[in-house]
Structures are given as structure tokens and as C-alpha cells.
């Protein structure tokens, strides 16, 4: 069996028919044991925990934009029932206050958006509201980046982004949920 | 005999199957590259909502996953139909979250611990009560970077 002559080598052809079987086997193994993981999502920074109640007495009402969602997933924006379609535009108008109206934010640095749900609100409604608010901030930051640096917020350098973030800080305050409709 | 002879001139050309393994290997490499080993079996149904403001989660090793949803049909007789929290591969309550975070943190070197993110995979129809409890538990443990898992929605 130690012969290494060419005649010996020519006779030893590997049967390629089983290669396909091996490949099928490996393919089925991978199909069964792996998943295509979705890894995108809305990134949020939670406020640090403190046992004391947050001090809200120093805030001026004009600087606070409240969005309440009840257990029927309906929105109450600053005391008025509204549709979620207008939320993004309303937030942007509140933060920038282009016409300097007295009931909107003094300036973007002082603008606070406060969210409150009920324990019975559906998660999808909450996330939609959060998404619209975050989108409002991102669009405003993009506008500022384009006006100042000529490019989108994402394409700016770290320092440019930091500057924009200090001018338009993302301040979303979330209150403890009320408990009117959880056990429906 | 000559009337019934088979026509030989028009036999269909044989398909060469020599390239079949190559096709299969291509599919195999595609799956090997695109997918990740599933490390936890989901015992709950989770359908994440749509959103537009999405950020991609890099560095999977720094991410721990919390799932919230209704148990799958086969588990419903033992665990009921109320939404449950799944940490890792078993059901848990929000009191188990600090330990779960601690266990994950222990596997990460000190320098990278600031970048640990928690990915919340929550089903659309879960009520906010459970989510608020989970968020409070996360805040108490100092885990402030949170990612609400969502699919991309086409901009209107």
C-alpha cells in the first residue's frame, strides 16, 4: 500500500457524489441551529435612580411639553387630545419656538418633554410616541448640523456632534405610570 | 424491428451534476456568515414594533437580552397567558434582574463595562406595567443604556 506510482494514484478517484450529501448535511445543521438576529432598536438612556422625588417646582410650565398616553392608547398633548401624526411637528415647534410664543420653550436648552403612561398602555403605543419625540430631536439636530457644518448630524465629527448636543439636549423625562387600566 | 427502434439522435443532454456541491457550498457559506448561533430558545412570542429612529447594536458580547411577551402555546398550560419576563433562557421576575445583570457583567472586562447595553425585546401588546417594572429594576442596578428592539418602518 506504500506504492506511490502514478498508476496507483490514477485509480484512487474520490467519489464526488457524496460531497453534495456532506454539504447538504452541514447546510441543514446551520439552518436549524442559527437565526438571523435583528439587532436594531431605539437607543435610550434611562435616568439614574434616586429614591427622592424629582424636584419639579423650579420648572416653568412653558418649558415642559407633556405627553400623556392612557390605557386606550390615546394621546393627551399639553391637555388636548391629539393624533400621533402631528406629534413630531408639534415637538419641533415647541423646542425651537421660531415665533417666540410665550407658551412654548424659552430656548432648546431648557425644553423638556415629559412622557407619562398608564400601566395599561400598550408597549407599541409608548414606543411610537418615544420614536416620534426622538425623531423630532434628530431632525432638529440634522437641521442645525446642515446649517452650521453643511452635513448631517451623523456625519459630523465627535466634537461637532458634542456641540450640537449641548445646544439641543435630548431631555425626555418619564414619570411613573398611573394605574387605571392595567388589569383589563 | 427497424420500425420500432428508439430514436437515438435526439436524446436529451445530461445535466451535469458536478456543480451541485458548489451551489450547496455557496448557500452554506452564506448561512455561516449571516447568521449567529442561537444561544437562547425563546419561550415567549415576541413581535417587536416598528420604529424609524434605529441604531444598530455593535459588539454583541456587550449586550444582554431581556425578553417580555406571552408564553408560546406549548408553555401556556404551565405558565399561563400573562406576559412574562424571560432572562437568558428561563422565565424570571424583575427581582432576578440585578443578579442577571451582575452575571453578564462578570464576563466582561472592567474597561468595557461602561458600554454594556441591555436590549429589551418586548412584544407589541405587552402592557406598560411590566415594562415600567423592568425599567425601574434596570435603573436601580445602574444599567442605564437600554435599547428597545424594533424593526425598521418605512418613512411615510
Grade residue A118 by pLDDT with cuts at 50, 70 and 90. confident
Q: Does B80 touch chain A (CB under 8 A)?
A: no
Q: Is residue B2 part of a domain?
A: no
Q: Is residue B102 part of a domain?
A: yes
CB proximity under 8 Å: B 13-32 to A: 17-18, 20-21, 24-25, 27-28, 31-32
Residues of the domain holding B130: 44-152
Instruction: Parse chain A into domains and list their residue ranges.
Output: 61-174
Stretches where chain B sits below pLDDT 50 are 156
Q: Do A47 and B122 touch (CB under 8 A)?
A: no
CATH of residue B117's domain is 3.30.420.270
Find, in chain B, the residue whose alpha carbon is nearest to that of A69.
B128
Is residue A168 predicted with pLDDT exceeding 60? yes
Q: What is the pLDDT of residue A57?
A: 66
Q: What's the number of domains chain B is made of?
A: 1
* Bigger pLDDT: B46 vs A35: B46
Q: What is the pLDDT of residue B5?
A: 63
Q: Do A40 and B129 touch (CB under 8 A)?
A: no
Give the residue-averaged pLDDT of A49-68: 77
Instruction: Please check whether residue B121 is in contact with residue B149, taking contact to mean a CB–CB distance below 8 angstroms.
Output: yes
Q: Is residue B22 part of a domain?
A: no
Q: Does B103 touch chain A (CB under 8 A)?
A: no
Q: Around Cβ A62, how many Cβ atoms within 10 Å?
A: 16
Q: Is residue B26 part of a domain?
A: no
Enclosing H/E stretch for A19: helix A17-33
Nearest to B104, CA basis, from B73, B74, B136, B60: B60
pLDDT digits (tens, 9 = 90+) for B117-128: 888 988 888 888
* Bigger pLDDT: B16 vs A25: A25
Q: Does B45 touch chain A (CB under 8 A)?
A: no
Q: Around Cβ A169, how many Cβ atoms within 10 Å?
A: 14
Q: Is the pTM of this model over 0.80?
A: no
Q: What is the pLDDT of residue A4?
A: 58
Q: Do B31 and A40 touch (CB under 8 A)?
A: no
Q: Is residue B33 part of a domain?
A: no
Q: Does B116 touch chain A (CB under 8 A)?
A: no
Give the residue-averaged pLDDT of A88-116: 85
- Return all residues near B127 (Cβ < 8 A) that are at least 6 apart: A119, A120, A121, A122, A123, A182, B83
Q: Does B42 touch chain A (CB under 8 A)?
A: no
Amino acid at each position: 500500500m506504500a506504492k506511490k506510482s502514478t498508476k496507483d494514484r490514477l485509480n484512487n478517484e474520490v467519489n464526488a457524489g457524496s460531497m453534495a450529501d456532506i454539504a447538504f448535511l452541514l447546510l441543514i445543521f446551520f439552518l436549524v441551529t442559527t437565526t438571523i438576529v435583528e439587532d436594531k432598536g431605539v437607543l435610550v438612556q434611562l435616568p439614574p435612580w434616586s429614591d427622592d422625588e424629582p424636584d419639579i417646582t423650579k420648572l416653568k410650565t412653558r418649558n415642559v411639553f407633556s405627553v400623556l398616553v392612557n390605557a386606550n392608547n390615546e394621546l393627551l398633548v399639553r391637555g388636548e387630545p391629539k393624533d400621533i401624526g402631528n406629534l413630531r411637528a408639534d415637538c419641533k415647534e415647541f423646542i425651537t419656538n421660531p415665533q417666540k410664543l410665550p407658551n412654548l420653550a424659552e430656548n432648546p436648552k431648557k425644553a423638556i418633554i415629559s412622557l407619562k403612561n398608564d400601566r395599561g398602555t400598550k408597549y407599541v403605543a409608548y414606543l411610537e410616541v418615544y420614536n416620534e419625540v426622538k425623531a423630532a430631536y434628530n431632525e432638529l439636530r440634522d437641521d442645525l448640523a446642515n446649517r452650521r457644518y453643511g452635513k448631517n448630524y451623523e456625519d459630523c465629527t465627535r466634537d461637532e456632534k458634542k456641540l450640537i448636543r449641548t445646544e439641543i439636549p435630548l431631555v425626555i423625562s418619564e414619570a411613573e405610570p398611573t394605574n387605571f387600566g392595567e388589569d383589563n | 424491428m427497424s420500425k420500432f427502434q428508439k430514436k437515438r439522435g435526439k436524446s436529451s443532454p445530461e445535466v451535469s451534476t458536478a456543480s451541485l456541491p458548489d451551489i450547496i457550498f455557496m448557500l452554506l457559506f452564506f448561512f455561516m456568515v449571516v447568521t449567529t448561533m442561537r444561544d437562547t430558545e425563546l419561550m415567549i412570542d415576541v413581535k417587536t414594533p416598528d420604529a424609524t429612529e434605529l441604531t444598530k447594536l455593535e459588539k454583541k458580547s456587550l449586550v444582554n437580552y431581556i425578553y417580555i411577551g406571552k408564553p408560546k402555546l406549548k408553555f401556556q398550560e404551565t405558565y399561563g397567558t400573562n406576559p412574562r419576563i424571560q432572562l437568558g433562557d428561563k422565565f424570571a421576575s424583575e427581582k432576578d434582574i440585578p443578579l442577571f445583570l451582575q452575571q453578564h457583567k462578570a464576563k466582561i472586562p472592567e474597561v468595557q463595562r461602561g458600554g454594556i447595553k441591555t436590549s429589551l425585546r418586548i412584544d407589541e401588546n405587552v402592557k406598560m406595567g411590566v415594562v415600567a417594572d423592568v425599567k425601574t429594576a434596570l435603573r436601580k442596578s445602574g444599567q442605564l443604556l437600554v435599547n428597545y428592539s424594533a424593526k425598521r418602518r418605512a418613512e411615510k
